[in-house]
Structure 1
Amino acid sequence: MKPIITASELVSESAGARPPVLLDVRWQLGGPPGLPAYEAGHIPGAVYVDLDAELAGPPGSGGRHPLPDVAAFGAAMRRAGVSADTPVVVYDGGLGWGAARAWWLLRWSGHADVRVLDGGLAAWTAEGHALSQETPLPRPGDFAPKPGALGLLDADEAAALARSGLLLDARAGERYRGEVEPIDPVAGHIPGAVSAPTTENVDEEGRFLPAETLAARFSALGARADGAVGVYCGSGVSAAHQVLALEIAGFPAALYAGSWSEWSHDPSRPVATGPDPA
């Protein structure tokens, strides 16, 4: 099953026998909050999910967006109407990063049928579909997380993968090179990691490039069908979008959830700068 869905496919499935649960995960680094935008207009039936509060734990030594407590995440998903046997479609209003974080967490914790709306809310409105200001009251779901369905790396495993396999840095190139660092205390990248900005996986409208184009991109970066691939970013959000792009391309990948915000807060960990991985 493809991990993405088009707006027209979503319309068709929503009118069918097994309509998906819709989750609105609007989020932007540094704000503004997504709830006011949701209240101003969302896909009919969609439930708002707060990335900072429900898709991440409190910031700290594990990074700015560490994984949420599994029990709390499961409770949030059940409140949103997610059940184990019900399809789920997630979307956001921008780059797709928030939606991808929800997709990754649900897939990692064992939900088998989760897709991201390709192009997000902009794709929905571009096709002329209506928005709603009505807040739904979903029937509670029965989803019980069982973590481990997708690969997850800690800091040491990410460092080892950078040496023995392929570790992709999904941040902007200037942050990878250490030229700027607007958020975290140290600029640069994990030694051995390869620069692969996640923004290069989508077209100008925010839709994913064709699978064969993505496969060619990741192959050129060193991905192999029989090789291990991992991804990190600033705090494990845009990296989830890169894991999604890799899945579209046919390359399973693990997420370093703590990402640079965890790595850079530990002064004992090495830092590389410049355009070369080492």
Structure 2
Amino acid sequence: MPVLVSPDELAALLAADPRVRVLDVRWSLAAPDGLPAHRAGHIPGAVHVDLERELSAPATPGGGRHPLPPIADLRRAASRWGVDDGDPVVVHDDSGGLAAARAWWLLRHAGVADVRVLDGAFAAWRAAGLPVATGDEPAPPPGNVRLSYGHLPVIDADEAAALPDRGTLLDARAAARYRGDEEPVDPRAGHIPGAVSAPATDHLDPAGRFRSPAELRVHYAALGVRADRPTAVYCGSGVTAAHSVLALAVAGVDAALFPGSWSAWSADPARPVATGASPRPPAPTAPPAPPVPPASSPAAPTTGAPA
């Protein structure tokens, strides 16, 4: 099943199939409420989705800042969006898919088969000269989609700790947060020992579209991703990591998600933290041995001769 759709392809889908549901998932840490942006301009017929309230449960130390919502809550939200069983769903944001990927991953994990992300986000739709609506859309008829979790792989903290020994654990946050240079939101700075720095922004080209499958395969191979070893991704709170799972899917690689991510890991004082650019902290070195004093010279024999 394709995971991306271009603006022109989406326009053709909307013209040909009235069942296509478009979800506007605009969100960022700086502007978590995307409704004002949606009202200012959106794809005609798109439904605004609230990432904080509909694609996440309330934060907890064990679950992180964006735990997965209970399946019953997600089912109610999807009904509000008008999603029926079998409907094709297209999700978008205005940040290169970094928020929309959360909806893509969550709906796929819940069993919706045909979910795609608008490549290039809302900016690409505008740039293509396609129609834009403003204000609020009429509420769609309630949908009847049936959902159940378990259709995509996930890992927990214990599995994240063990994965670097047998596979590749990718950290999708900015490199400065990975190194521990800064940590603006979570309890501790650094990364999971053994994880490899793989910022999600590296998936996109200068136009904000996903790089080609071939480019992404080369990119991930350089980070240690291999077909014969498992791959998993985490980020700050499980949102941006979904973008990495999406990019890996474009490259033809199946990857698991650690939903709690760094926000859950760093809240547990029993979990170790690595800092710096290396996946693991350098092994401790033994202190240098104290210098061996030079052997004393034997005393010169006394001869009784005048000095």
- Common topology (TM > 0.5): yes
Q: Which runs of 5+ in 1 are unaligned?
A: none
**Does the 8 Å contact 1:159/1:191 carry over to 2?**
yes
Aligned alpha-carbon RMSD (Å): 1.0
Alignment-derived partner of residue 11 in structure 2: 11
Alignment-derived partner of residue 220 in structure 1: 222
CA distance in 2, matches of 1:33, 1:146: 27
CA distance in 1, matches of 2:162, 2:146: 32
Whether 1:27 aligns to 2:27 is yes
Over 3 Å counting, the alpha-carbon distance change for 1:30 and 1:17 in structure 2 is closer
Q: Deviations over 1:39-70 (max 9, x none)?
A: 11110000000000000000111111011111
CA distance in 1, matches of 2:186, 2:142: 38
**Does the 8 Å contact 1:18/1:86 carry over to 2?**
no
Alignment-derived partner of residue 66 in structure 1: 67
Q: Deviations over 1:122-151 (max 9, x none)?
A: 000001112112413212111121111101
**Which residue type is aligned with residue 96 of structure 1?**
G
CA distance in 1, matches of 2:6, 2:97: 13
CA distance in 2, matches of 1:144, 1:87: 14
* Percentage of identical aligned residues: 56
**Which residue type is aligned with residue 106 of structure 2?**
L
The ranges of structure 1 where at least 4 consecutive aligned residues each deviate by more than 4 angstroms after the TM superposition are: none
**Does the 8 Å contact 2:171/2:234 carry over to 1?**
yes
Alignment-derived partner of residue 98 in structure 2: 97
**Does the 8 Å contact 1:13/1:19 carry over to 2?**
no
**Which residue type is aligned with residue 217 of structure 2?**
A
Q: Deviations over 1:183-242 (max 9, x none)?
A: 111110000000000100001221100000001111111111122000000000110000
Bigger CA radius of gyration = 2
**Does the 8 Å contact 1:90/1:115 carry over to 2?**
yes
CA distance in 2, matches of 1:40, 1:152: 36
Aligned residues: 278
CA distance in 1, matches of 2:210, 2:107: 20
CA distance in 1, matches of 2:171, 2:120: 22
CA distance in 2, matches of 1:35, 1:103: 19
Alignment-derived partner of residue 238 in structure 2: 236
3-state DSSP of counterpart to 1:182: coil
**Does the 8 Å contact 1:88/1:113 carry over to 2?**
yes
3-state DSSP of counterpart to 1:23: strand
**Does the 8 Å contact 1:47/1:136 carry over to 2?**
no
3-state DSSP of counterpart to 1:64: coil
CA distance in 2, matches of 1:53, 1:148: 21
Deviation, 1:19, is: 4.2
**Which residue type is aligned with residue 164 of structure 2?**
A
CA distance in 1, matches of 2:76, 2:159: 29
Q: Which runs of 5+ in 2 are unaligned?
A: 281-307
CA distance in 1, matches of 2:17, 2:142: 19
Q: Deviations over 1:51-105 (max 9, x none)?
A: 0000000011111101111110111011101122010000001131210000000
**Does the 8 Å contact 2:32/2:52 carry over to 1?**
no
Choose between structure 1 and 2: higher helix proportion: 1
